Amino acid sequence: MLNALWLIPAAPFAGFVVNGLFGKRAGKSFVSAVAILGSLLAAIFGTVAVFQYHALYPHGERYVDLVYNWFSSGNVGADVAFQLDPLSVVMLLVVTWVGFLIHVYSVGYMHDDTGYFRYFAYLNLFLSEMLILVLGSSYLVMFVGWEGVGLCSYLLIGFYYKTDYAPAAGTKAFVLNRIGDFGFLIAMFLMFAYFGSVDFARVSQLAAGGGVEPWLLTAICLLLFLGATGKSAQIPLYVWLPDAMAGPTPVSALIHAATMVTAGVYMVARSNVLYRLAPDAMMVVAVIGGATALFAATIALRQWDIKKVLAYSTISQLGFMFIGVGVGAFSAGVFHLVTHAFFKACLFLGSGSVIHAMSGEQDMRSMGGLKTKIPHTYRTFAIATYAIAGLPLASGFFSKDEILASAWATPYFPTVGKIVWALGTIAAFCTAFYMYRLLYLTFDGKFRGTHEQEHHLHESPSSMVVPLWILAILAIFGGLLGLPEIFHAPNFIGSWLAGAVPEIPGAHHLIEIPAGSEWTVMIVSTLIALAGWWVARSMYKDKQLDTDRAIEQRVPGLARAVENKWYVDEFYGATVVGPLKQLSIFFWRIVDGIIDGIAAMLGYIVAGIGDLLRFFQTGNVRNYALMLFAGVVVFIWIFT
């Protein structure tokens, strides 16, 4: 398997080709069989490759499988090559297995959809591109996958293309991602210009070798991070992710929660050598991450759409991951990425199951009291909520705690680290609060929907419930992968990822968290999470919507501002989109008018000359022959 790593992305790609070409005529069972086989094969190939890799390279060295030389010109070049190292191993396992579970879930969820084959073809294509992204051995190959997942995201957000909001949401996602991609591209050009290579190891080696000007590293890191803010929905480019909920719910789970949006975190962790040599850039990453974590969490406090709450929650959790990689705790960031993939996929799939039961209703004001109606969904949802809220001993507790403790103890920028820690801790409170608000409003109290919806309530089929349970179990026990040092237990993920964070001269290595501050931070976060849960419980468990109404009466301005997402979309509309539109209209009406005028004038000149010359076109063969001979005579006369 190791010498054919390309087979891993190729398997779902084959599924995409088969379903894309023949899926329309084939039956639904054929389509789902092909799609699931594609994702399962990728998962099996990936797992086999991981075991072989671990047997051969137990210390986490880098293994590269060269497919072919893409181009090489002078001392600039790039290969098409895939690699395995501890970081890509973690991503590979998460992407393939969570992807597989969501494929299975989709069979039940999309059962009545007319675009069945299209959906699964896109989903397989997405998986393939995502695997190229995580397995690529250079920024360029990564960028191929990066753009590929962006395309699939666009296609799947706009999946319900007959509505008017879904295609617009897809376009929004695509355009904002393009802004980020611009940064990624410029960063790659800088690498080509100054290092002559975009291979991960080569770039790291040259950067760590010394003699590189600091501004160059800072510029590369900031530009890469601009790409990450687009793909991973951070301030200022996060606004596309809430709109992306227009796509089918399993897509939100797979692409917009578990895998694609974490690509930015993966990329920063992958570039950890560059970032550690440019602490200023790291500080930007950490501060943006902390600000996003808090900002998105406040918006989630007062949303009614069940998927919108989860979308803002995803943005907020991605902010936590960026705090992790920004303060230098790369393994903590990736650990949170993994646990988040588990519990957020579970939450999204659970919300999909709720929406399925509610016959398409997404507004929590019409829900309530679903606890007894859909018990499996309720239990898994409650487990995942427990995990994301950071309540003790579940997966989110350990990963979030490690991030916050690292922010507290970061050696790169101690003062700013404390501020980031404070931002993260407040965001953690909000997280516990809005997640339990969601849980209580949806599952407790009385049913508030129509009579028809109530009649139709039903638990989802087992193809949806089984993935939910698997993910819920992972959400609970996923934390065991990375127990903190003070528990005197092995931290699997930390020691595993240590191989991906090499020691370099002139930069800090792993963050040493003193046991005292670890305990303090852990107790503070536990109390904070419990407080969030307790406040939400006292406000929403029994009173349900009355609380929200009371808040609206007491502070109407604030309530409306939060409900309208702090008017960020309106702000962007007024400052960026509106002027751009005006500029476009200017170009269209005025500049295009001038250019078109010139072009049209040339056309009129040609037409005028043609009007004169057409009198030679008599249509009489003998006239033409005469002209021909006359021409020959003239030529001969000239040449002799």
CB of residue 621 to other proteins, shortest distance in Å: 4
Q: Name 72's Cβ contacts closer than 8 Å, sequence gap at least 6.
A: 78
Buried residues in 186-196 as b, exposed as e (16+ CB within 10 A): bbbebbbebbe
Q: What are phi and psi of 94, to 5 degrees?
A: -65, -50
| Contact present, 146 and 195 (Cβ < 8 Å) | no
- Cβ 628 to other proteins shortest distance, Å: 9
Q: Which is nearer to other proteins, 455 or 614 (CB)?
A: 614
Identify which of residues 4 and 627 has a Cβ nearer to other proteins in the complex. Answer: 627
Min dist. Cβ of residue 117 to other proteins (A): 50
Q: How many CB atoms lie within 10 A of CB 447?
A: 16
Instruction: State the nearest-atom distance from the C-beta of 616 to other proteins, in Å.
Output: 9
Question: Which CB, 59 or 622, lies closer to other proteins?
Answer: 622
- Contact status, residue 406 vs residue 321, Cβ threshold 8 Å: no
Give me 595's structure tokens: 């250019």
Q: CB-wise, 576 or 628, nearer to other proteins?
A: 628
> What gap in Å lies between CA 565 and CA 56, rounded to an integer?
51
Pairwise CA distance, residues 30 & 170, whole Å: 28
Q: Which residues contact 382 (CB under 8 A, 6 or more apart)?
A: 439, 443
| Shortest Å distance, C-beta 618 to other proteins | 6
Q: DSSP class of residue 262?
A: G
Q: Which is nearer to other proteins, 520 or 617 (CB)?
A: 617
Nearer to other proteins, 165 or 629 (CB): 629
Instruction: Kindly tell me which of 603 and 610 has the beta carbon lying closer to other proteins.
Output: 610
Report helix, strand or coil for 167.
Answer: helix
What tokens were used for 273? 């050598």
Query: Smallest gap, in angstroms, from Cβ of residue 602 to other proteins?
Result: 22
Kindly state the smallest distance separating residue 634's Cβ from other proteins, in Å.
Answer: 15
First to last CA, the chain: 78
| Beta pairing partners, 78 | 71
Query: Phi/psi at 63 (nearest 5 deg)?
Result: -110, 130
Q: Are 285 and 321 in contact, with CB atoms under 8 Å apart? A: no
- Rounded CA gap, 378 and 443, in Å? 7
Cβ proximity to other proteins, 55 vs 621, nearer residue? 621
CB of 617 to other proteins, least distance (A): 5
User: Which residues contribute to the site for other proteins (CB under 8 A)?
Assistant: 614-615, 617-622, 625-626, 629
Nearer to other proteins, 495 or 617 (CB): 617
**Closest CB to other proteins among residues 615, 639:** 615
Q: Can you read off the two tokens belonging to residue 609?
A: 């000359």
The three-state (H, E, C) secondary structure of 387-419, written as one string = HHCCCCCCHHHHHHHHHHHHHHHCCCCHHHHHH
Any idea what the Cα angle at residue 248 is, between residues 244 and 249, rounded to 5°?
90
Instruction: Return the number of the residue (75 or 620) whose C-beta is nearest other proteins.
Output: 620
Measured from the CB of residue 607, what is the shortest distance to other proteins in angstroms?
13
H-helix or E-strand containing 350? helix 330-357
Indicate the residue among 604 and 615 with the shorter CB distance to other proteins.
Answer: 615
CB of 610 to other proteins, least distance (A): 10
CB of 606 to other proteins, least distance (A): 16
Element (H, E) at 70: strand 63-73
Secondary element (H or E) of residue 65: strand 63-73
Burial of 64 (0-12, 13-18, 19+ CB in 10 A): middle
- For the chain, the 3-state helix, strand and coil shares in percent, each to the nearest 5, are 75, 5, 20
User: In angstroms, what is the minimal distance from the CB of 632 to other proteins?
Assistant: 9
Which tokens belong to 375?
């018990």
For other proteins, the closer of residues 446 and 614 by Cβ is 614
Cβ atoms 313, 344 nearer than 8 A: yes
SS3 labels along 86-127: HHHHHHHHHHHHHHHHHHHHHHHHCCCCCCHHHHHHHHHHHH
What stretches of 196-271 show up as alpha helix (H) in DSSP?
Answer: 200-208, 214-231, 240-243, 249-253, 263-270
Which residue type, as a one-letter code, is found at position 28?
K
Please say which residue, 598 or 628, places its beta carbon nearer to other proteins: 628
Query: Shortest Cβ distance from residue 604 to other proteins (Å)?
Result: 18
Nearer to other proteins by Cβ, of 162 and 622: the residue is 622
Nearest distance, CB of residue 614 and other proteins, angstroms: 4
At residue 163, what are phi and psi to the nearest 5 degrees? -75, 165
Joined together, the tokens standing for residue 555 give 């502070």
Distance separating alpha carbons of residues 438 and 435, to the nearest angstrom: 5
The minimum distance between CB 635 and other proteins, in angstroms, equals: 15
